[in-house]
Structure 1
């Protein structure tokens, strides 16, 4: 290329940036620029993937790495520069991609600390592959150490990683999650009251916007899914959780009580769970999850819209034999929706008698006693683990089933707590929301339905009747109210 300087792309990456300050990648860029200047080359672009891993276990795409590769493959870059080989990648398969790039374009790889492997020779490629294998193994060993340490912290009731938690003072002198933020605490309790009263996450978001509270990263609350995930976060209730299961109490102050947390989880359902930004897309029909055949099998919605000019369309709830049902009961979807719609209207307006729970039958004390018994047994096993009586694997085999039992008992408590924590609703507003046919309001109507209806049982209409047409006897549908 004569006197024309080589065109360089600098790549910087750090796996974890808890403070979101990008100090690590900024330092990498400065070192890389110093190397490029010493060689008399030209920096064309800087590609930064902050807070992204390049290990074999990583699932997220590194967008700037991909952009750098596109430019190099297009012949825009002559040299790729990074702090070390491990900043480029810890994946042997990605190294092969870089070797292919060199073969096709002659693109060079330079690093500040790992040397410059000559990818044009067999020995150079061998050395680069050995480095990549070593980097991959080190990343995996680090992951194993981190997982073991996190498990130990969970068992001790300590925080074990994760993003900043709304409700607590970040960089508190008392330690992370040890000091409650008064304004955020007020917002959380106000949001809880709104959620339990209305069932609407959107109203909580609007309330927080009006209060002027910001996310832990200083941004406005613009996404209902983020609000839902925040409200259901077990940390706010002082609880240690792993893989969506409560492990036990944490060693930091709680903002919500356990009963309030369970009530919130029950009110939210699946909204904002598992990192999703909102309710699952699979829920399309009002009665799904509430409607059962008399045989005990959940009924499914089936809708078929024929092509233009064709007949034979249908929409119905049906007991499907292939899913364990009797296959003999079905109802027209619009008809059954209308029956339930009218029943709930009556319940909201007070025209129906919805039975209350019997006095003196509160199962909470018994549930709590069983939970405490299981928690005591878990502590006993953990003590034996520390003394070497149990191996780690043996302890986990004992502990995991007990945690699953606790989770089921807590779920029962959640249903009870939700009912106990509900604030009287505005009946006129609730009726208006219930009668809203906008598809976007489906989840609001499902929330209202769940406040009044426990389940709906559909019976066969008998000989000479019809399961699948409008107008079967009303008494062939039994609506079980939520007591």
Structure 2
């Protein structure tokens, strides 16, 4: 069986560097507009010189199969048909994959709402009250927005007190990012910062390799009856949690490391037409954190002073995180 695009081998233990960015751009182009078909994505990918794992050109069907495979987001379907962590890295976020599924449904239903390509999901912005990451969520009227999800029965979630219109927040962040990019010398600083991020990428990959080695060692110790089943389960649970965290950090570090402004002279025009993956990468590179606080009253359609707080990175001194 051929390997899945974006992965080094059939076991999907490691992402393939030269395929990850093309895959993210394909997904971003598919999500930006419901009128963009899988065939359109295939034409774009072929025009850029990208080919499938067996060297063939992309087709409508092959793009569709790729987009429907949860493994590209590090997920799988369990026996109940629910999406769960597959235990291997993913090239895109869970939210992006769920948006692909939403897009699939929307394309087959005339009156369905089109999928929305959220710019700041997956840790791009956080609740200013409880620090919980904001997720994408439509309002009752169907308008895309971000919200702090309240705690569920499992105990996961946040305070549930922050909601904001997606377009309002993204336009505000975009205006500030473009203004930052227009500052003298910023491209040189970005280049230095990306060099530091590339070092982070290598360090994170080494951390993953070390943890996977510890996983194998646990199995060997249990097989030799040197540790109990309880110790095996506890150790594997801790390693799995660490791997999930590091793989998430690696995914975003790779996006930042691979981003390029190219020769974009009109930055406003570039921002308005660039794939979401590219805009997300530069946003992550420039902003360490985006905090969103509650509006002063329900229905407020402006960014009031202090409602959105942007924490800019010190590019020349980027490290860790």
TM category, shorter: 0.5 to 0.7
TM-score with structure 1 setting the length: 0.39
Larger Rg: 1
Q: Is residue 165 from structure 1 mapped to residue 3 from structure 2 by the alignment?
A: yes
Greater length-normalized contact order (CA 8 Å, ≥ 6 residues apart): 2
The aligned counterpart of 1:50 is none
1:245 alignment partner, SS class: coil
CA 1:413 to 1:280, structure 2 compared with 1: closer, same or farther past 3 Å? farther
CA 1:165 to 1:304, structure 2 compared with 1: closer, same or farther past 3 Å? closer
Alignment of 1:183-202 (within 5 A): 192=20, 194=22, 200=29
Equivalent residue in structure 1 for 2:93, among 250, 269, 291: 269
User: In the TM superposition, what is the alpha-carbon distance from 1:222 to its structure 2 partner?
Assistant: 1.4
Q: Is residue 477 from structure 1 mapped to residue 317 from structure 2 by the alignment?
A: no
Alignment of 1:61-76 (within 5 A): none
CA 1:342 to 1:376, structure 2 compared with 1: closer, same or farther past 3 Å? closer
The aligned counterpart of 1:293 is 127
CA 1:319 to 1:270, structure 2 compared with 1: closer, same or farther past 3 Å? closer
- C-alpha offsets along residues 244-286 of structure 1, whole Å, 9 cap, x if unaligned? 213xxxxxxxxxxxxxxx7xx45x3348859x76868796474
Equivalent residue in structure 1 for 2:291, among 457, 466, 472: 457
2:290 alignment partner, SS class: strand
TM-score with structure 2 setting the length: 0.53
The aligned counterpart of 1:421 is 258
Unaligned runs of 5+ in 1: 1-162, 168-175, 178-187, 235-241, 247-261, 307-313
1:412 alignment partner, SS class: helix
Query: Structure 1: how far apart are the matches of 2:183 and 2:213?
Result: 46
CA 1:221 to 1:189, structure 2 compared with 1: closer, same or farther past 3 Å? farther
CA 1:166 to 1:429, structure 2 compared with 1: closer, same or farther past 3 Å? farther
Q: Is residue 244 from structure 1 mapped to residue 86 from structure 2 by the alignment?
A: yes
The aligned counterpart of 2:65 is 226
Query: Structure 1: how far apart are the matches of 2:282 and 2:102?
Result: 20
Q: Aligned Cα RMSD in Å?
A: 5.4
Query: Structure 2: how far apart are the matches of 1:369 and 1:269?
Result: 21
CA 1:190 to 1:390, structure 2 compared with 1: closer, same or farther past 3 Å? closer
Query: Structure 1: how far apart are the matches of 2:115 and 2:94?
Result: 10
Query: Structure 2: how far apart are the matches of 1:217 and 1:363?
Result: 31
CA 1:231 to 1:206, structure 2 compared with 1: closer, same or farther past 3 Å? farther
CA 1:386 to 1:208, structure 2 compared with 1: closer, same or farther past 3 Å? same
Q: Is residue 445 from structure 1 mapped to residue 284 from structure 2 by the alignment?
A: no
Unaligned runs of 5+ in 2: 11-15, 31-37, 75-83, 106-113, 152-156, 316-321
Query: Structure 2: how far apart are the matches of 1:200 and 1:350?
Result: 28
User: In the TM superposition, what is the alpha-carbon distance from 1:390 to its structure 2 partner?
Assistant: 4.8
